Amino acid sequence: MSKKLKIGLFGFGVVGQGLYDITVSRHLNLEIKKIAIKDASKKRSLPSELFTTDRWEILNDPEINTVIELINDAEAAYEIVSYALKNGKNVVSANKKMIALHLEELVQLQRKHDTALLYEGAVCGSIPIIRNLEEYYDNELLYAVSGIFNGSSNYILSKVFNENQTYGDALRKAQELGFAETDPTLDVGGYDAKFKVCIAAAHAYGLFINPDDVLNIGIQNLHLSDMKYVSEKGQKLKLVPVAKKRNDNEVSIYVLPKLVERDDFLYNVENEYNGVSVQAAFADQQFFFGKGAGGHPTGAAVFSDISALRYDYRYEYKKTLVEEKVDFNNEEVIQVYLRFNQQRLLQELPFISIDETFSCKQYHYVVGSVRLADIFNAKDAILADGAFIADTGKYVAHTETLAEEAVCCNID
């Protein structure tokens, strides 16, 4: 039998309202007792007595046994979530930045205080990838978890490659529709996708990784010449986070644009939709598809977590408990397309081998093999140059040998 949940909700934006719509349409054993907001003067569709600007009305209410955190401020969210867990309240959150930055500590708090933190809505909206990594793949050897984790950037790229819009026009449209913020850096810079893949890696590999150590370069420097190159190859461009097992005890994690072939599942994932690919030793490749943004899709994921708490569900983090731990290592060598403006950038980013080159007055590009760690170190130089870099998706054999024999290639 399910237990009664008395809920304190933090945040009543797009997702908060979507969650409320879903909750009132279902006749379950739960009650939203109080909603914490920042702006009391803003007109609301619900009775004013349901709202408060004082977080302690929720956190110190002994009747409230469940906290739902749906605010934008990562540090404020961490304070709310950690306090709630320490004081016997279960929590559901959709704040991917907060969770990625503090996940290891939050796991310890759950274990110490016998409380639960669920966050399906933080990773890929309506796609239940965390629950599947926890339950379906709990004893499976996973080779890779990757895909399209950010609906805003995917919407922009869809408009660019399907409707021949410029990057600037597609970005403005995404902002008008509420898919992208006024400052879109979190989305188009690959930060949002990085936070999400770091969370997924904890469940896939038992690895807690500081997001600051993970490479992320987004689509912010996308140029007409890059679009032309991709189109001439018969490919599409997607922003793809990757968590990949390199060997028995190492995992590489990164976020880069990727050139996607027609036979790739991601090729037909368009607009604000997300797609997650899981490559496993026994289950082989499986693909999850669904809306990654919007009030109701994300609200549905949050509601699923709330429903699970009625039966005392919690993540077990089984892969963090195994004796043989995995380490983070970004020595992986990948083949990339790099379009750049100044030749001196190649001194900052040493290629191991070059497979293709092009040069004209307006720009230059190379296709070749390079180490992820070297891209990470050259990130600021790449962005400052206005350069665009993308994973070609081509397999690079004998990556360890190549890395050891790396030489700097001079290009005229």
What are the sequence ranges of the domains in the chain? 5-122, 129-291, 333-404
Residue 97 has pLDDT above 80, yes or no: yes
This model's pTM is above 0.85? yes
Report CA-CA distances (Å) from 145 to 101, 277, 286, 396: 20, 6, 10, 18
Architecture of domain 333-404: 2-Layer Sandwich (3.30)
Q: What is the mean pLDDT of residues 370-394?
A: 97
Reported confidence tier of residue 26, pLDDT bands at 50, 70, 90 = confident
Q: Give the whole-angstrom CA distance, residue 293 versus residue 270.
A: 12
The alpha carbon dihedral of 164, 169, 172, 173 has a sign of negative
Q: What is the pLDDT of residue 10?
A: 97
Q: Which of 202, 293, 277 is nearest to 242 (CA)?
A: 277
Annotation marks residue 394 as catalytic = no
Reported confidence tier of residue 397, pLDDT bands at 50, 70, 90 = low
Q: What is the pLDDT of residue 403?
A: 45
Reported confidence tier of residue 28, pLDDT bands at 50, 70, 90 = confident
In tens, the pLDDT along 219-270 reads: 999 999 999 999 999 999 999 999 999 887 999 999 999 999 999 999 999 9
Mean pLDDT across the chain: 92
Architecture of domain 129-291: 2-Layer Sandwich (3.30)
Q: What is the pLDDT of residue 411?
A: 45
Catalytic residue among 196, 244, 245, 258: 196
Q: What is the pLDDT of residue 1?
A: 59
For residue 293, give the DSSP letter. S
Sorted by sequence, the CB contacts under 8 Å of residue 360 that are 6+ apart come out as none
Q: Which of 269, 245, 273 is nearest to 258 (CA)?
A: 269
In tens, the pLDDT along 32-65 reads: 999 999 998 888 889 999 999 999 999 999 999 9
From the options 3.40.50.720, 3.40.50.1970, 3.40.1190.20, 3.10.129.10, give the CATH code of 5-122.
3.40.50.720
In tens, the pLDDT along 270-291 reads: 999 999 999 999 999 999 999 8
Reported confidence tier of residue 408, pLDDT bands at 50, 70, 90 = very low
In tens, the pLDDT along 303-358 reads: 999 999 999 999 999 999 987 889 999 999 999 999 999 999 999 999 999 999 99
In tens, the pLDDT along 160-198 reads: 999 999 999 999 998 888 777 788 999 999 999 999 999
